Amino acid sequence: MPTGHIYPKESRAVRDLLRKRGQLVRQRTTHILSIENLYARNTGSRLSCNATKSLTQEQVQQQFNDPNVALAVDSNRIIMNALDQQIKVLEQAILKQAKLDSRYRCLLSIGGVGEVLALTIMLETGGIERFAQVGNFTSYCRCVGSEKLSNGKKKGQGNTKNGNKYLAWAFVEAANFAIRFNEQAKRFYQRKAAKQNRVVALKAVGSAQTGEGKLLCDAGSSTL
């Protein structure tokens, strides 16, 4: 039987703090979308995400004649700003600790990977040496098709929830950024999308990034 992995206790709290940040970001997005929906329903026009984030109480009062709608929007705005402030507090605390790790600096060199994604990949991966090959790490990140094996033989496929959902999210996000801002990744994505479909092509970009991430983490770990 393969041995299970127990995440190192000394790094567990920082990893969980990053997961808490992700939870707050999702909650903030809910309030942003709520404001945008209320604005569209009551004014007939759209409000951009940046405009939503910069809304003031005075602007809300001017935009909505109905005091009940204005109160609903302002409630979303207040909670959104509170969440944004707390997200920044968590980011600063995590970054202070992450910058001391050479793996973090290595991961920043991957196309499409910024500070938050580098943090996620580093902290969710843990000890990269536990993955014998690149394919093992790619599978753990849910970037390849899953198979059910028994005694080395294929018994079916599926099991899409096997692996780390946080790493799966990180590499999909990184792939999206890469095909927008990296010409080499964009061409690779377009070739794959022309032969199959956009989802498979995006996963292919993410899979390539997991390989690069494995090599960089290996290199970073060796210098610690």
DSSP state, 126? -
Non-local (6+) Cβ contacts of 22 within 8 A are 120, 166
Give me the pLDDT at residue 77, please: 97
Q: Please give the chain's pLDDT, 224 residues, in tens.
A: 666 778 888 889 999 999 999 999 999 999 999 999 999 999 889 999 999 999 999 999 999 989 999 999 999 999 999 999 999 999 999 888 876 677 888 888 888 899 899 999 999 988 888 888 888 888 888 887 766 667 767 666 666 677 889 999 999 999 999 999 888 889 999 999 998 888 888 888 988 888 888 776 776 665 44
Give me the pLDDT at residue 223, please: 45
Give me the pLDDT at residue 2, please: 64
Closest CA to 73 of 19, 113, 37, 108: 37
Give me the pLDDT at residue 110, please: 87
C-alpha angle 87/214/1, rounded to 5°? 100
Task: Kindly list the domain boundaries of the chain, sorted by start residue.
Answer: 9-98, 119-222
CA distance 141 to 206: 9
Dihedral over Cα of 108, 112, 114, 116: its sign: negative
Give me the pLDDT at residue 69, please: 94
